[in-house]
Amino acid sequence: MRSILLNPGPVSLSEKVRKAAVSTDLCHREPEFSALQDRLRTGLIDVYRLHPLQWTAVLLGGSGTMAMEAMLCSLLPRDARLLVLENGVYGERISAIAEIHGIEYQSVAHQWTDAIDFDRVSKLLANGEFSHLAAVQHETTTGRLNDISRLVGLCEEHGIKLLLDSVSSFGAEAIPFDSPALLACAATANKCLHGIPGLCFVVSRPEAIDTAVEPPRSLYLHLPVWAKQQDRGSTPFTPPVNGLLALDQALVELKEQGGWRARHARYHRLADRVERALDRCGVEAMLEPGESSCVLRSYRLPRERAYQDIHDGLKQRGFVIYAGQGSLAAEMFRISTMGDITDYDMERLLAALAAVFG
């Protein structure tokens, strides 16, 4: 029986993606690798039908956090004044990155279950003290989809540049690439794109990379080093070759399945089925309808039910769910509908939920 991952990455892989990852031994200094790298950089830009002269994709070896750190420490100038929005673990991680690299910042902290307080944000931006804003689109701590459309509107109004964590949304949620406020976004291969872990990327305006901070704050994380070498068909350091091979096939499958909009719709359908099944078992959703991303939803732990018992009961039936983080660990669990999940898998899941919660 195939085990299905219902955690927010890594995801269950299609058989073709799994095989592509180990399909060949490829040296990163050979022309075949250069062609693969070029194809992926073009393919990532094409996911959202972006103009190649207005946007560029820079591939990196690491998790989504690496892409975030590279984006922040490369594209924020020395005199940047950064406002960070926090309503979960990953917003707080942005602040931690800024602290480590000595970037001047101020955070707008919220409870992890709260939506962004746009009145507070608007008042802070109106003071004229900030040059950049960093935020998470899909805060997987709770599954909340932050209102990025409203946020870019505020950034445009006040002349602020936005750096976006789209790690858990790229490939399944709308991203406002048409806004002049959006400077760059960070993402990864092993979530909505259905690739394997170890490969991440930054989608940036080329001029942001051309005017990146100098001298660099980091040797390995400096985006211009990667971008310039990749523009020449090369790479500055050994890349995750197997990750590139897997993503190449994953992007083919994304296109065959109708692109990001079709993936968004399917995720929603699957998540709705899970939520209805849990509702029948008396399990409540953490967030109000319409507040969650299509990718992941969080649920309240029923009284007198331990997460570990629920986890183990589902795992015995072939499904891996995810615990809450930090202080929410005792209150909730999370289920993601990313990855290669078939209709047959869903029928098995619904039966498993009924058995474990019934």
**Mean pLDDT confidence for 127-147:** 97
Residue-wise pLDDT for 32-90, tens only, equals 999 999 999 999 999 999 999 999 999 999 999 999 999 999 999 999 999 999 999 99
The whole-number pLDDT of residue 358 equals 83
Looking at the structure, give the CATH architecture of the domain made up of residues 15-256.
3-Layer(aba) Sandwich (3.40)
pLDDT of 282 reads: 95
What percentage of the chain has pLDDT greater than the value 90? 98
Domain boundaries, the chain: 4-9+258-357, 15-256
Q: How far apart are CA 255 and CA 40, in angstroms?
A: 13
Residue 349 CA to residue 358 CA, distance in Å, equals: 13
Largest CA distance in the chain: 60
What is the CA angle 25-26-29, rounded to 5? 150
> CA angle 250-74-86, nearest 5°?
80
Structure tokens at 10: 């890594």
Please compute the mean of the pLDDT values over residues 231-253 and round it to a whole number.
97
Check: CB of residue 187 under 8 Å from CB of residue 4: no
What pLDDT is recorded for position 304? 86
Answer whether residue 190 shows pLDDT above 90.
yes
**Mean pLDDT along residues 303-323:** 96
CA-CA distance, 87 to 326, in Å (whole number)? 13
5 beta partners: 320
Q: Which two tokens stand for residue 242?
A: 């197997």
Phi/psi-derived region of residue 352, left when phi > 0, alpha when psi is between -120 and 50, beta in every other case = alpha
pLDDT (0 to 100) of residue 356:
97
Can you tell me which residue has the tokens 């594209």?
A: 75
**Bridge partners for 112 per DSSP:** none
- Judge whether residue 1 has pLDDT over 80: no
pLDDT band at residue 297 using 50, 70 and 90 as cut-offs: very high
Q: Coil, strand or helix: which one is 164?
A: strand
Average pLDDT over residues 283-307: 95
Res 2 pLDDT > 90: no
Q: Mean of the per-residue pLDDT values for the chain?
A: 97
Q: Domain 4-9+258-357 class?
A: alpha beta
Neighbours of 34 (CB within 10 A): 16
d(CA 43, CA 49): 9
Q: Which residues contact 119 (CB under 8 A, 6 or more apart)?
A: none
221 pLDDT above the threshold of 90? yes
